[in-house]
Chains A and B, each alone.
Chain A
Amino acid sequence: MVEDLYTDDFADFGDRWSADALRHAASHTVANERIWDLSRQARRLRASLAAVGHPGQTPVATGRGASRTVLRRCVRIDGVTLPTPLLNGIDPPGNSFVVWDRKIVYMSVTKAACTTLRWMIADLAGEDFERFYEAPGAQQSRLMTIHGTRTKWQRTVALSELPADKLAEISVDNGWFVFAVVRDPWSRFWSAWQSKFLVRHTFYEDYQKESWYPSIASSQEQVIKDFRRFLDAKPWTYDPQLSTDVHFLPQVYSVRPHGVNYSRVYDLNNLGELFTDVKSHLEAVGRPVDDLYVPRANETPLPLIPAVLENGAAEVIEELYADDFTEYGDRWSLERLMSGPRRWSDDAIKHAAYHTVANERIGDLSKQTRLYKRKWRSTTLRNRRLRQQLRELQASAPAIPRESQGGLGRLARRLRSQVGR
């Protein structure tokens, strides 16, 4: 079999490979084919199950947003109506926030009001805000500490942390409010570049030697030039770390529009509608609130202006985020973005520059905190080990005789006081 596939190689080098090696290679090939078969079968099975679950799944329109589908349908089996499952055969996403007692699931999408929405969720869930503020990371403000580790969340789990029976209870048909927010990729990409690179977030400082790394903001022309350099270099398409960075990945990666049955996927421009809907939902589940806590984190001092997208930049972004445009493109208008103010004020540029230097300090302090936390952990471990050793020593030795009052005792006491200093 292998010989058939690689006849040229066998003609040239066939004498170098032993029969065992060839048998091994053949078995490997067979195994791989089997894996592919099984994988294809599994995909087909999942698709057919999803089709059974959602018989009305049909494309809505052609053109931008063409593949958007109406997924949510109830299932009837033997005359019993089952609620629509939350997920269509995908693994429970980790970027989800479940407020169980208020029946809310938020699917977080980076750079689409996620700071504001996470605080809203944290507040609704009754999280302790102080826990977030204590984050040792290089977050640029107290509000940004909401992006620290998930361990800070005590009352809000991810879907991936729920047991299967609990997960099965979550459905829009059961009165749950499941939502996400998306944003036009032009301003989202601009915001991501600005908050990670222009104002120099510490997490990205390893890129400082790259030719496309921006300098500290000093003028509009220089900032746009730096942005174009980044856009032209496209480091997020090849750099191992950036290529998996959700800030630069298309939003469909986080939203999973075909994998999750939402109440609604909102647009950033319609946050007002989202907040109204959340309040209505909370009333419906008997947990009304007067006001939602929706603070705004201002981590990007320079708003998107037409000059950023001119000279082909808009088209490059459209090409890079084709998946987002296919799914939600009909919501966004480049014309609207191009009609805003044409220049940043000197104050805005100065603010961007200040943000950069303050970020450096935040990065330094964050590193110090992490260093001391590491030391704290290692010292705690050492203490535990020492305590254990001491216990073992005490257990193995008979009672300590009273210390001599003579020369040796004095020496021991002196030694001890030296150690104590």
Chain B
Amino acid sequence: MTDTSVHDPLRTLGGTRRAFVVPDLKILYISVAKNACTTIKWLVSELAGEDPTQFHLGAGPYVTKDEGIHVRSRWQRTPVLNQIPADVRTAISPDNGWFVFGVVRDPRPRLFSAWQNKFLMRNPAYIQWRDEPWYPRVPQTAQDIVEDFAKFVDLLHMRPGAPVLDDAHFQPQVPYLAEDVVPYSAIYEIGTLGSMRADLEAHVRARGYAGAVRLGKSNDTPLRARADVFGAPVHERVDAYFHEDLERFGELWDFSRLDSVPPWSDDALSGLRAQIALSERICDLIALVKETRAGVSTKRQESLEHLRLQLDQLRAENRRLRHQVNDPLWKRAARPVVRRVRSRLHR
């Protein structure tokens, strides 16, 4: 470890987009994917005074407007850690009045939620995997879902280094929390978001913030994880893959809670199918926007080419006319000869 990392440990997180600093209110939020991060990012953006209209989406691979909050480059007033002065960064600590927080979640329902949201529901950002053998069908029954999830867990078990798994949604949470360098005030379990909101409110009120501190609602997965999704050997394989999370935070989670989740209703399944249809349409439209935009770009290049050719033509005509007007007769007569000689010399 270098001297810098000893005195400025947060610097090691560098430009990570998962860090959200609100210097005025002394807040640092370390985001972990699939842990209410959409809701919390909206809350942080409100506290930071971000303009919500700047998160309006273009042709990005998102299903709802809410998801514009994940485009980190749109944030204007909430820097990442290497965008703040070193003295501010080194001062980030609960001891100095900062509120530093993150959220964790039982990795089993988290994995099911991520799989459901990204693959089962045809998220546009993950549609490139649709020809893979483990890519889920449009489910007709609950059993289809159980089987297809098991196929994905097979992949997790057999090929943990597969490119599709190189994605924060499918990675353990412990490395992303980086507790060795981030001095947390608290790491909340996702079921205690109410406490997190209350603590955050108390913190910002003490710093004179008078606005609302509210958690919105993001409803991106219609099916709750149930115990029968994690039959053998799925349960064991998921636990093995997420062993870091379970070793560090395991006491927070009671897997038997999933036993009490009721079976998925017919409405939930038909709703899921309708949501898949909506996502497919969104995928088509995103592709159409991109294709049309590329077409416009090509056409504009053609326009420029035509303009360039016209410019050449006009310039040549201009030169010819100027010569005709200004040059004496002997010069005009000599020009073809000079041109011929010059071209010979250039060969």
Contact = CB atoms under 8 A, between A and B. Distances in A.
Interface of A: 133-134, 136, 139-145, 297-299, 301, 344-345, 347-348, 350-351, 353-355, 357-362, 364-366, 368-369, 372-373, 375-376, 379-380, 382-383, 386-387, 389-390, 393-394, 397-398, 400-405, 408, 412, 415-416, 419-420
Contact of A351 (B59, B274, B279, B288): B274
B119 to A, nearest CB: 17
Given A362-B285, A402-B339, A390 B310 contact: yes
Contacts of A143: 277
> Per DSSP, are chain A's interface residues mostly helix, strand or loop, or mixed?
helix
A133 B280 CA distance: 10
A37 B189 CA distance: 82
B278 interface: yes
Contacts of B315: 412
B277 A347 contact: no
B281 A351 contact: no
Contact of B306 (A362, A386, A402, A405): A386
Contacts of A416: 308, 311-312
Contacts of A351: 222, 267-268, 270-271, 274-275
B284 A350 contact: no
Contact of B280 (A142, A383, A400): A142
Contacts of A139: 281
Given A360-B64, A372-B293, A420 B308 contact: yes
Query: Which of B65, B275, B306, B320 gathers most chain A CB within 10 Å?
Result: B306
A141 B281 contact: yes
Contact of B286 (A144, A365, A404): A365
B197 to A, nearest CB: 20
A401 B339 contact: yes
A362 B219 contact: no
A187 to B, nearest CB: 17
Contact of A361 (B62, B222, B303, B309): B62
A375 to B, nearest CB: 5
B316 A142 contact: no
A360 B65 contact: yes
Nearest to B285: A365
A361 B316 contact: no
B296 interface: yes
Given A350-B219, A355-B274, A379 B316 contact: no
B289 A354 contact: no
A353 B271 CA distance: 11
A136 B295 CA distance: 15
Interface string B302-330: 11101111111111110110000000000
28 contacts: A134-B284, A136-B285, A141-B281, A142-B280, A142-B281, A145-B281, A298-B270, A344-B267, A345-B268, A350-B222, A351-B267, A351-B271, A351-B274, A358-B279, A358-B282, A361-B65, A364-B56, A365-B59, A365-B282, A365-B288, A365-B289, A369-B292, A375-B296, A393-B310, A393-B313, A397-B317, A402-B343, A416-B308
Nearest to B295: A376
A419 B307 contact: yes
B281 A140 contact: yes
A357 B295 contact: no
A347 B222 contact: yes
Contact of A355 (B268, B278, B288): B278
Given A141-B280, A353-B219, A358 B64 contact: yes
Contacts of B145: none
A398 B320 contact: yes
Nearest to B278: A358
A362 B270 CA distance: 20
A401 B316 contact: yes
A152 to B, nearest CB: 14
A387 B279 CA distance: 41
Contacts, number: 168
B267 A379 contact: no
Query: Which of B57, B313, B342 gathers most chain A CB within 10 Å?
Result: B313
B299 to A, nearest CB: 4
A400 B282 contact: no
A264 to B, nearest CB: 30
Given A139-B281, A419-B304, A350 B271 contact: yes
Contacts of B292: 136, 369, 372-373, 376
Contacts of A420: 304, 308
A87 B347 CA distance: 80
A372 B311 CA distance: 28
Contacts of A142: 277, 280-281, 284
A355 B306 CA distance: 46
B154 interface: no
4 nearest A-B pairs in the assembled complex, by CB-CB distance: A351-B271, A141-B277, A372-B292, A386-B306
Contacts of A299: 274
B306 A390 contact: yes
B66 interface: yes
A327 to B, nearest CB: 32
A194 to B, nearest CB: 13
A101 B152 CA distance: 47
A420 B308 CA distance: 8
Contact of A354 (B59, B222, B308): B222
Nearest to B310: A390
A404 B59 CA distance: 47
Contact of A376 (B299, B314, B320, B339): B299
Contacts of A369: 285, 288-289, 292
Interface in B3-36: none
B311 A408 contact: no
A276 to B, nearest CB: 24
A100 B295 CA distance: 36
Interface string B63-107: 111100000000000000000000000000000000000000000
B278 A140 contact: yes
Contacts of B319: 401, 404, 408
Query: Which of B63, B274, B310 gathers most chain A CB within 10 Å?
Result: B274
B58 interface: yes
Given A298-B277, A383-B302, A358 B284 contact: no
Given A364-B57, A402-B339, A133 B312 contact: no
B116 to A, nearest CB: 13
